[in-house]
Structure 1
């Protein structure tokens, strides 16, 4: 299993001390390599550290266990796939263009999570990944809400609360997607149009 995408999009990647970044990269690469032949539940910290060439003490200095680490890695993958090139006011692009960008981002997420559904199913079953994923998606929705505000589309609401709500809702939507066998990305994406708030633009989304 090759690394699907960088953990974080360039615009969201925080400054990290190079040694820590190298360690994180080695652990991520080790995890993806082990997942080629093993289920997530069968991978131990010792096996991951041997594969990555990282001391167990270093691993435990940042993560409690394999599940916590994998949840962080894969939530960052989804977050990276959800990145869109739009500022907080949506300036420089039409409403349709912004809508297409968001639809394309969700399409990338659906394609990736289905291709890696074995891992995502295991993560969602842990009971903790949903919250990690929702928290990672929240800033993406906050940016989307600010962009739609620039077009005068957002009603009078608390954008922070709305972003947290949408992050949780989308995490559940993705969980339902990976739990099934349906591989029709366009149909699943189209189904979202009936779940979005009434004021949310449908531009760029396939029709149900």
Structure 2
């Protein structure tokens, strides 16, 4: 193996170790959040639970708040990608253009229920509101563009008011659905949400 190949291999191993360390810390974060309040969790708790050194932690994060913020940003980025991925013909189970995106939203929550349940429980402590609001506002705009092909004319109802109404409806209903243990399927939730929005 030449010098260049060794450098590439070393970089790959370094990237792989960094990814593994971050995954271990993310897992440790959620495990600890199940056990105790955010304010009682220390960097030492996180590194002990993850089985890594403090120096490794500080190579990736400034403090525990930076870790939590990066984890939440990543979660919402993954959700956005899942919701707005290209639509396959087999996914069209409704005449309403928004069905697929709402279905995917609930499907994603279902697949990652444990983590989102913890965020529901600890959201206020983690100050998740700003991150979540930014995600839902961006998703609202993306959703309108996907469904209508452009941002709509607000006409008689200001667009900002429409946005807040829809976001509140979807977030509130999703929280209720998770807290109740997902009493209905993602398909039922998507169909019902469309019906509710159309009737109001």
CA distance in 2, matches of 1:23, 1:139: 30
Distance 1:19 1:174, change over 3 A: farther
Distance 1:119 1:185, change over 3 A: same
Task: Return 126-135 or 75-84, whichever deviates more.
Answer: 75-84
How many Å apart are 1:96 and its aligned residue?
3.8
Partner of 1:45: 43
Partner of 2:128: 129
Contact 2:47 2:57 in 1 (8 A): yes
Structure 2: where are the runs of 5+ without partners? 1-14
Q: Judging by fraction of residues, say which structure has more helix.
A: 2
TM-score, normalised to structure 1's length?
0.55
Structure 1: where are the runs of 5+ without partners? 1-16, 199-206
How many Å apart are 1:50 and its aligned residue?
1.9
SS for the counterpart of 1:126 is helix
SS for the counterpart of 2:125 is coil
Contact 1:134 1:167 in 2 (8 A): no
After superposition, give the CA deviation of every residue in 1:65-124 in whole Å (9 maximum; x if it has no partner): 54553454245335424423545xx89897848533212212224435754565123332
Task: Return 75-84 or 44-53, whichever deviates more.
Answer: 75-84
Partner of 1:77: 75
1:194-205 to structure 2, matched below 5 A, reads 196=197
1:52-201 to structure 2, matched below 5 A, reads 52-60=50-58, 63=61, 65-66=63-64, 69-70=67-68, 72-74=70-72, 76-82=74-80, 83-84=82-83, 86=85, 96=95, 98-111=97-110, 115-116=114-115, 118-126=117-125, 128-150=127-149, 154-156=151-153, 165=163, 169=167, 172-173=171-172, 176-177=175-176, 180-181=179-180, 183-186=182-185, 192-193=193-194, 196=197
Contact 2:28 2:46 in 1 (8 A): yes
How many Å apart are 1:178 and its aligned residue?
6.8
Cα RMSD for the two superposed structures:
4.5
